[in-house]
Structures are given as structure tokens and as C-alpha cells.
Structure 1
């Protein structure tokens, strides 16, 4: 599976960086003493589709299949790490 590491700062509304390797992402986070979450996302697949295909999420209601729900979907089962002032928590 192709993947990217996406960094979202603690107060950011949108991602601030994308990396092809965990090591590069963590170096950047440490160097800039950042606080936020780094998450591994599949390329060419939504978080929603990934979660459904891997049985991490099963839509049970009609609203869970709506465009608003799918467009805002995130999945805690995706590999992710939390950082505080550049340090992994």
C-alpha cells in the first residue's frame, strides 16, 4: 500500500505537511518543536473506504453513508502519533 504521513498542528484547521517517510516527518516535527498529530494515510483511498474495507467501521445508519459524514470521516485505527513541543507522547 502506498502511504503518506500527514501532520495536523494542534490548532490547525488543515494539514501543514505531508511526508513519504515517518523518519522525515519526525525530524521536521522535532526541529520545529511542533504540537499535533501525525497520521499515516493510504494514497488513492479515503480514510472512510480504508476503515470500511478493513472492518474498522461498519456504516449502520443512512447518515453514515452521506457525503457530509464521509467527507469529515477520520479513523482512530489508522496509525498515528501525538507530539507535544516536538516530542512524541
Structure 2
């Protein structure tokens, strides 16, 4: 049971890290889009577009990892639930 709890806690930590990483990607994309708008036509839009697409690909990969992590967390939770003794009534 202790091993399951440790794996679950590790999975929760991984989930939190993935969520923070996805949020960072979203924030950076927003900053780059805002930069394009603020610069009007004075910036190299094509290279910024490529950078945004690369960050988006990273975000997509992270979202896939997040999905797998959440599935694993759910499976571990279901396994741990089997080990919880029923509540005794007095």
C-alpha cells in the first residue's frame, strides 16, 4: 500500500509540474502575439510565427503527457481505494 501511495504522490507532483509548464507555454504565446501586435509591421513576423508554432508543439506534447499522467493517477487511486478498510459501525 505504501508503494501505491508514493507512486500516487509522485504522479500528483508530475501533474502539477505539467500544468505549470502548459501555463508557461500559454503565457509565452500570449506575450509573443502581443509583441507582434505592439510592433505592428516593424518586427520579423515570420520568425515569431515559427517560434509560436514551436511553443505550441511543446504545449501539445505536454498536454499529451498530462493526459497520460491523469490516467495513471486515476488508476493508482482506484487501486488504493481497494485497500481502504470499510468504516466500522458501532
Length-normalised TM-score, structure 1: 0.21
- Judging by fraction of residues, say which structure has more strand: 1
| Structure with the greater alpha carbon radius of gyration | 2
Length-normalised TM-score, structure 2: 0.21
